């Protein structure tokens, strides 16, 4: 197993010569949304901490999160969350051995790109 | 050729000596989060911008409290696993170890802060 084809394997594609396409872009965005969600987590924990501290501190943090900038950041967090969730589902499907040819990958890619804003919209409608 | 079977050779090994453990934990938490994320969004979302007393009352009820607790535990554990893979891909040398430790402290610290806050409100 480990002794086979050592040193004669295909190289992974270098970014400098790699032509961007839907599959790679949606995959890179999946990783970026995962990292960015730390920001959303920090804000939610800050809000919880404020709610556990005092009424005036809660008013300050809650006011920040529901200001115009706060609303934009929280909406983008929900978008990132749904994007990462759908992108994760695509990985779970791939891990089970399905949808590995380029056409299926593209179809699921469009599913993520259209699905994430749609689910974000539905979420905001539902919780307002 | 060794007399060991291929299966015996790989049990518990791999370069990290942990086999597919990291991958499997990421997968299990990912599946769990498919249920937890909607639970959290629809119980936490409506509380944003609500009066202090209403928020206290809501988070004292089992479903919103459990949704938030699960989101903190499973979500930040999933983040801690994922961010390690990202660091291993882009950071080399001693900085890699330091970055992984910092990321783990950040993930677990945030989880603890959230859980203690939640407990103080809910209990």
| pLDDT band (50, 70, 90) for residue B1 | low
Give the Cα separation of B86 and B66 in Å (integer): 29
Q: Phi first, then psi: what are they for A98, rounded to 5°?
A: -105, 160
Query: What are A90-117's pLDDT values in tens digits?
Result: 999 999 999 999 999 999 999 999 999 9
Lowest mean pLDDT among A4-8, A33-37, B4-8, B43-47: A4-8
Confirm whether B63 is domain-assigned.
yes
What confidence score (pLDDT) does residue A10 get? 74
| pLDDT band (50, 70, 90) for residue A5 | low
| pLDDT band (50, 70, 90) for residue A41 | very high
**At residue B13, does pLDDT exceed 80?**
no
**At residue B7, does pLDDT exceed 90?**
no
Average pLDDT, chain B: 92
Question: Is residue B20 within 8 angstroms of chain A, CB to CB?
Answer: no
Total domains, chain B: 1
Quote ipTM for the complex: 0.87
**What's the average model confidence in pLDDT over B42-64?**
95
Selection from B103, B108, B44, B81 nearest residue A88 by Cα: B81
Give the Cα separation of A106 and A88 in Å (integer): 15
| CB-CB under 8 Å, B30 with A88 | yes
Confirm whether B1 is domain-assigned.
no
Query: What are B59-113's pLDDT values in tens digits?
Result: 999 999 999 999 999 999 999 999 999 999 999 999 999 999 999 999 999 999 9
What confidence score (pLDDT) does residue B56 get? 95
What confidence score (pLDDT) does residue A2 get? 58
**At residue B31, does pLDDT exceed 60?**
yes
Q: Phi first, then psi: what are they for A99, rounded to 5°?
A: 65, 30
**At residue A71, does pLDDT exceed 60?**
yes
Q: What percent of chain A has pLDDT over 90?
A: 80
Distinct helix (H) and strand (E) counts, chain A: 4, 0
Q: Enumerate the residues of chain B whose CB falls inside 8 A of the CB of residue A62.
A: 48-49, 52, 55
| CB-CB under 8 Å, A78 with B117 | no
CATH class of A22-127: mainly alpha
Question: Is residue A81 within 8 angstroms of chain B, CB to CB?
Answer: yes
Token couple for B95: 């900085």
In B, minimum Cα distance to A74 occurs at B45
Q: Which residue has the higher pLDDT, B83 or B8?
A: B83
Pick the residue of B44, B55, B106 with the most A CBs within 10 A to test the interface with A by mutation.
B55
CATH number at residue B93: 1.20.1300
pTM of the model: 0.87
Residue numbers of the domain that contains B116:
6-122
């Amino acid at each position: 197993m480990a002794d086979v084809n050592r040193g004669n394997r295909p190289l992974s594609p270098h970014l400098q010569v790699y032509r961007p396409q839907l599959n790679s872009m949606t995959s890179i965005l999946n990783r970026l949304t995962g990292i960015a969600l730390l920001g959303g987590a920090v804000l939610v924990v800050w809000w919880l901490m404020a709610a556990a501290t005092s009424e005036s501190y809660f008013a300050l943090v809650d006011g920040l999160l529901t200001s115009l900038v706060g609303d934009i950041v929280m909406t983008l967090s929900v978008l990132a969350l749904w994007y990462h969730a759908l992108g994760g589902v695509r990985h779970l499907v791939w891990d089970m051995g399905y949808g590995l040819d380029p056409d299926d990958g593209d179809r699921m890619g469009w599913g993520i790109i259209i699905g994430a804003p749609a689910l974000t919209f539905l979420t905001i409608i539902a919780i307002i | 050729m060794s007399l060991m079977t291929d299966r015996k050779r790989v049990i518990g090994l791999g370069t990290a000596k942990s086999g597919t453990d990291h991958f499997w934990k990421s997968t299990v938490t990912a599946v769990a989060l498919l249920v937890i994320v909607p639970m959290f969004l629809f119980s936490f979302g409506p509380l944003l911008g609500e009066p202090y007393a209403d928020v206290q009352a809501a988070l004292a009820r089992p479903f919103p409290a459990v949704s938030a607790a699960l989101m903190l535990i499973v979500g930040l554990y999933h983040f801690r696993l994922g961010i390690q893979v990202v660091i291993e891909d882009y950071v080399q040398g001693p900085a890699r170890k330091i970055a992984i430790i910092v990321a783990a402290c950040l993930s677990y610290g945030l989880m603890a802060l959230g859980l203690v806050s939640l407990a103080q409100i809910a209990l």
